[in-house]
Amino acid sequence: MHVNNEVGAVNDLSAVSALVKTRAPNAVVHSDGVQAFCKLPFSRTAADLYSISAHKFHAPKGVGALMVRSGVKFAGGQIGGGQEKNLRSGTMNVPGILGLDAALAAYRQEQGAWISRMRACKTRLAENLLSIPDAQVNGPSPECGSPHILNVSFPGVRGEVLVNALSEREIYVSTGSACSAHQKGQNRILTAMGITSARAEGVLRFSFCPFHTPDEMDRTAQALLEQVAFLRRFQRR
């Protein structure tokens, strides 16, 4: 995984791949780049296989791509009708593929500015949220890590309650990635990081896109400041 989908930590793909190759020169290194592609500078040689999902950069849902480094032998994953150069059989999602291509072209043209915009929104929101007593960022500091994921704990308040309270103000956040939405118990990523259950219970995950604005960050921070203060009045002691 190039970027962790819960806290936005970035793995050094080139270093990981080099380490793997020193131990197993013939190994094929695959990276899940879904959370990283178009959000970070990309090197085609960092991994042998690199998978992306179109909806993560505003293209249609239901389509993705697998990048195969030149020189890597790839036999394909599905047999059948021989579509897509006999690498992935099955009827092609032509509208989805065209949408992916169009979105990618737009991102390539504006990527630097858009990454800066997401980073600015992330750091602005984080600075405001950390003014809330006991609030803590989980994972890399806002200036580091991916520019589009922020994970913050508000001890003493349940994350699910904050999600519902914010949605009433048309502010939409989550308590974790979509992949962990139906997971029972404490989030395994936060557990592996050594985060206590008290902190994990009050987690909110924020994600950013190039079309968010600083005003939206300020509105979100103010709403949370009010809601956390209100809900902590009912905290069990």
Structure confidence by residue, pLDDT tens digits, 150-207: 999 999 999 999 999 999 999 999 997 655 555 566 788 999 999 999 899 999 999 9
Note the pLDDT of residue 61: 95
Q: Which of 8-12, 23-27, 83-87, 211-215 has the lowest average pLDDT? A: 83-87
Note the pLDDT of residue 106: 93
Note the pLDDT of residue 84: 79
Catalytic residue among 121, 144, 179, 209: 179
Note the pLDDT of residue 43: 78
How far, in whole angstroms, is CA 7 from its chain's centroid?
8
Note the pLDDT of residue 219: 98
Dihedral sign, Cα of residue 41, residue 212, residue 218, residue 234? negative
Distance, CA of 162 to CA of 227 (rounded, Å): 7
- Confidence at 46, pLDDT banded by 50, 70, 90: confident
Note the pLDDT of residue 141: 93
Note the pLDDT of residue 184: 62
Note the pLDDT of residue 6: 95
Respond yes or no: is residue 179 known to be catalytic: yes
Note the pLDDT of residue 234: 84
pLDDT at 2 over 80: yes
Q: Residue 132 corresponds to which amino acid?
A: I
Q: Which domains does the chain have, with CATH numbers?
A: 13-104 (3.40.640.10), 112-232 (3.90.1150.10)
Distance, CA of 20 to CA of 69 (rounded, Å): 16
Distance, CA of 122 to CA of 179 (rounded, Å): 22
How many Cα atoms sit within 13 Å of 65 on the Cβ side?
A: 18
**Percent of the chain at pLDDT exceeding 90:** 79
Q: Residue 176 corresponds to which amino acid?
A: G
Note the pLDDT of residue 122: 98
Q: What is the mean pLDDT of residues 217-223?
A: 98
* The two three-digit tokens of residue 102, written as one number: 């169009």
Q: Which of 98-102, 111-115, 170-174, 183-187 has the lowest average pLDDT? A: 183-187
Residue showing tokens 């913050």: 152
How far, in whole angstroms, is CA 178 from its chain's centroid?
10
Distance, CA of 198 to CA of 149 (rounded, Å): 21
Q: Which of 84-88, 114-118, 130-134, 221-225 has the lowest average pLDDT? A: 84-88
- Mean pLDDT, the chain, as a whole number? 91
- Confidence at 237, pLDDT banded by 50, 70, 90: low
